[in-house]
Amino acid sequence: MDEIQLPNVAILSSPRMGHLIPCIELAKRFLLHHNITVTFITISDGYSLEIQNDVKAGLPDKVRSVVLPPVSLDDLPQEARVEGRACIAIKRSLPNLRNVLETLASTTPLVALVVDLFGAEAIEVAKEVGVSSYLYFPSTFMGLSFLLNLPTLDATFLGEYRDLPEPLKFPGCVPIPPSEMPDALSDRSCDGYAAMLNQSRLYKEAEGVLVNSLVDLEPEAVKALKSDGATNPPVYPIGPLVRTGTGNTGGADWAKWLDEQPRGSVLFVCFGSGGVLSLEQLNELAFGLEMSGQRFLWVVRSPHKKEANAKLFAAQSIDDPFDYLPQGFLSRTKGLGFVVSSWVPQVEVLSHGSTGGFVSHCGWNSSLESIVHGIPMIAWPLYAEQKMNALLLVEDLKVALRPKAGDGGLIEREDIVRVAKELIEGEEGKELKKTVQKLKEASALALEEGGSSYKALSNLACKLKSLK
């Protein structure tokens, strides 16, 4: 069959790693497993175009890639939250998006637009062009439940949610203490809250919601959302869609070091593409790793000098992060640990036989990658919805331990020692490993032909093909 005759789906992604990666994996599944061509659309918002290009290099050659012209965000306050900036960038790009969709509709069998969670305003553009519209939620069913209920919460409660006396309860989800709410929703006066409230009101306009999770991870939440089909759009559990490793580490020093370590003995410490610690927290983590006596591979970044704790996508310092480590730390831990500046290919580390645990910021991509490779976690949430993800990983799935943070948010070295030793060599750590191994197997089965996630996306693909 000639490719031009195949149905075409446009996928609109926010220009952030946590959105680009799952959107790219979705594009690959549509093309390689369901014979649907994809036009991948992103926005240039000034955030590291080089990173965007590196990530998009993973797209198959047959996927068309379109970058919408940049829009100005200069009028936004410097302290504007990333959620608000992403929503506004997409909103201001809608005229350009309409032009792209109209061209696609006139030259290909365009059947649908899939937008990520910050792009719900593009649903109306899809309607104007005459194609179906779907939301892709690259996070948990618990997070989706929260946002679908946000308009009701907004109309019901006065004041700040963080002052509520009891946890928030949604059907099928672990109760959410006010302190664990997403950052953008913890302050109703901020631009991020207004943006997410507006998005959540538009979610129900979508013809369906694709969720990067699977039934085995959140069975009750999936069941609750599906049973509420009268008010919510249909949900499609299609995960876990994660990057796969290339297996090519280029003879890197850290990879050689990992090869020499005992199986399952190394604690991998990495806070994602945007996590930055304060100087005080960086030092506590260093001393905690040293005192624990556990082997570790640590991806370290220069600290954020103004924030008390982590900052989402804080400007990366050009300073050498090694300069901020405690004096003598590198020499004292030589052989026990290996410290890398700024970046390593995370999937390659998690899939390595020597890796036995993952100190993670609990971004959903990283959490899924850890589960897919059967690696238990130490949950160290930093920003966005990560505290809510940590709650799911620790309290519900039971695949992670969580250190205790003090009143100022600081996690002290003694508690780092506790969780590091327990995860790698303790009895609770052994139970976590058994649990995450079962979820690893369930995740693999879900994506195989006939698995729950494969069937969910296949059902949607059949529906889209019928629209051609």
pLDDT digits (tens, 9 = 90+) for 132-184: 999 999 999 999 999 999 999 999 998 999 899 999 999 999 999 999 999 88
User: Is the link from the previous residue into 240 a cis peptide, with omega within 30 of 0?
Assistant: yes
Mapping DSSP onto H, E and C, the string for 281-318 reads HHHHHHHHHHHHCCEEEEEECCCECCCCCCCCCCCCCC
Degrees, nearest 5: CA angle 276-279-283: 105
According to CATH, the topology of domain 3-239 is Rossmann fold (3.40.50)
Q: Is the dihedral of CA 196, 384, 13, 88 positive or negative?
A: positive
Provide the pLDDT confidence category of residue 51 given band limits of 50, 70 and 90: low
The C-alpha atoms of residue 148 and residue 202 are separated, in whole angstroms, by: 9
What is the residue type of 209? V
For residue 244, give every residue at least 6 positions away whose Cβ sits within 8 Å of its Cβ, in sequence order, or none.
Answer: 347
Binned at pLDDT 50, 70 and 90, residue 16 comes out as confident
Measured N-to-C along each axis, helices 191-203 and 141-156 cross at an angle, to the nearest 10 degrees, of 110
Give mean pLDDT, residues 25-36.
96
Nearest to 456 by CA among 33, 6, 16, 22: 33
Residues annotated as part of the active site:
19, 116
* CA 424/CA 430 separation, integer angstroms: 8
Query: Do 3-239 and 253-443 share a fold?
Result: yes
Model confidence pLDDT, tens digit, residues 339-381: 999 889 999 999 999 999 999 999 999 999 999 999 999 999 9
Task: Write out pLDDT tens, residues 299-349.
Answer: 999 997 655 444 444 444 457 899 999 999 999 999 999 999 988 999 999
pLDDT in tens, 215-252: 999 999 999 999 987 789 999 999 999 998 766 776 79
Question: Closest Cα to residue 374, out of 291, 264, 294?
Answer: 264
CA distance 361 to 347: 15
**What pLDDT score does 55 carry?**
72
Q: How far is CA 460 from the centre of its chain?
A: 23
What is the pLDDT at residue 314? 44
Residue 6, CA atoms < 13 Å, CB-side half-sphere: 18
Give the β-pairing of 209-211 and 337-341: unpaired
* 3-state SS assignment for residue 270: strand
CATH class of residue range 253-443: alpha beta
Share of the chain above pLDDT 90, in %: 80
Sheet of 110-116, strand order: 64-68, 37-43, 8-12, 110-116, 132-137, 209-211, 235-237
Listed by start position, the domains of the chain span 3-239, 253-443
Report d(CA 263, CA 59) in Å as an integer. 33
pLDDT at 312: 45
Query: Looking at the predicted structure, is the pLDDT value of residue 23 above 60?
Result: yes
**Residues 422-439: tens digit of each pLDDT:** 999 999 999 999 999 999
- 302 in Cβ contact with 319 (< 8 Å): yes
Q: What does the pLDDT read at residue 5?
A: 83
Arithmetic mean of pLDDT, 115-121: 96
160-182 b/e (C-beta count within 10 Å ≥ 16 → b): ebeeeeeebebebbbebeeebbb
Tell me whether strands 235-237 and 266-270 are parallel, antiparallel or unpaired. Answer: unpaired
Can you list the alpha helix ranges (DSSP code H) found in 157-218? 191-203
The pLDDT of residue 352: 96
Please compute the mean of the pLDDT values over residues 60-88 and round it to a whole number: 90
The 10 Å Cβ neighbour count of residue 68 is 22
The residue type at 298: W
Amino acid at 256: K
Residues 61, 398: Cα–Cα separation, whole Å: 39
pLDDT reading at 440 higher than 90: yes
